[in-house]
Amino acid sequence: MGAYLGDPSKPLLLSVRSGAAISMPGMMDTVLNLGLNDDVVAGLAAKSGERFAYDSYRRFLDMFGDVVMGISHSLFEEKLEQLKETKGVKLDTELTASDLKELVAQDKNVYLEAKGKDFPSDPKNQLKLAVQAVFDSWDSPRAIKYRSINQITGLKGTAVNIQSMVFGNMGNTSGTGVLFTRNPSTGEAKLYGEFLINAQGEDVVAGIRTPEDLNTMKNCMPHAYKERVENCEILERHYKDMMDIEFTVQENRLWMLQCRAGKRTGKGAVKIAIDMVQEGIVDNRSAIKMVEPQHLDQLLHPQFEDPSAYKDHVIAVGLPASPGAAVGQVVFSADDAEAWHAQGKSVILVRTETSPEDVGGMHAAAGILTARGGMTSHAAVVARGWGKCCVSGCSEIRVNDADKVLIVANHVIKEGGWLSLNGSTGEVILGKQPLSPPALSGDLMG
């Protein structure tokens, strides 16, 4: 590559991510664009354009501050939202290079205000601190809780993967996405995923922006799309499983970042196992192992008694991120979800976007509703793995955490108010709708 860490004339930027033996979506930390400082960003701007360079820098300051220095992500998000409001724009991508320079200066002040010291500008020191932070995230409360809920035992810790960066935020010929080689909700043998033009990976998985479906990529980057489809077939046949894949397109060139066995619902697990036997990918014995005990438990979850009966009570429609029916009382924090669940109450966890810290509350809730984030965001992936009903990216709702209210059009739902979710259609329904026992059909009867 001929690039060097800390060299402004030939800048090397790195990603630092975990590599645990068992997939734990969103529970471990990642740092992107490592190696940037004031000198290196000037070199990157001269080489690849100012807007791209300062966009990468502000992302790095935010992620490094949050993951490595323990500064709340919301402090950086606040600066970004204020700047967009001041400049009269809605999307991050509408900010100019000079706007992003302003944001970088403000983000550096966040370090001073929160930590009383400057952002660490030496790239080698940044790398040392980031590696340590990823190791430490193995023992974070959310990772410990996730392993406990999923009965993951016997692992000593995580590895740390350090890779050279590729960039999805280099303009309209670049982008990033997450996909599953089959539909993780239904098991249908069709690519399922999302894509964002001019973005970096965390924008998709963290649910910061609500992405578009894969056809966007097919239309604007046909060659990269075709290559990615071929790669999916190769990976699925090699690993003999449905795969969860992260990828980036940099100036029309495709890069596959990572893949792991995909989380799926009970219904999805049964269909995928049956189809893979019929396609000659796995034998009967392997197929049986692909369906876990909790998958069978999910198949026994109730559904709505009569979906046509509640049509007049539908107040919003989001993305059907994880199927099933959920009825519960609205809460606005993961801690409250756990506390109310412990009292025997059924709850719906409502968030603007979920973060991995919400894992305990997500497990305690009957259903999850988010205003932002797509069907491959952490909330959606984790919910599907647990068979939790989830509606994500519901842009019609406004969540006010401070006052603990949910506003949808002219409806104001306070904490404790009843809400029903249909995770198969994305419908958000007012009130407590009746449920009926599940009915088995199709592959489940075979």
CB atoms within 10 A of CB 323: 24
Q: Which residue has the tokens 């790239």?
A: 123
- Predicted local confidence at residue 54, as pLDDT: 97
Structure-block tokens of residue 264: 């799926």
Q: At a CB cut-off of 8 Å and minimum separation 6, what does 317 contact?
A: 394, 396, 425, 426, 427, 428
- Predicted local confidence at residue 442, as pLDDT: 64
- Predicted local confidence at residue 149, as pLDDT: 86
- Predicted local confidence at residue 240, as pLDDT: 97
Quickly list H helices, 89-140.
97-115, 123-136
Please tell me the distance from the alpha carbon of residue 429 to that of residue 312, in angstroms, as a whole number.
Answer: 9
**pTM for this structure?**
0.78
SS3 9: coil
Please tell me the distance from the alpha carbon of residue 115 to that of residue 417, in angstroms, as a whole number.
Answer: 39
Q: Is 406 in contact with 395 (CB distance < 8 Å)? A: no
Please tell me the distance from the alpha carbon of residue 80 to that of residue 92, in angstroms, as a whole number.
Answer: 8
SS3 412: strand
- Predicted local confidence at residue 152, as pLDDT: 87
DSSP label of 358: G
Residues with pLDDT less than 70, the chain: 1, 25-27, 205-208, 440-446
Give the mean pLDDT of the chain.
91
- Predicted local confidence at residue 26, as pLDDT: 67
- Predicted local confidence at residue 295, as pLDDT: 86
- Predicted local confidence at residue 12, as pLDDT: 95
- Predicted local confidence at residue 141, as pLDDT: 86
- Predicted local confidence at residue 440, as pLDDT: 66
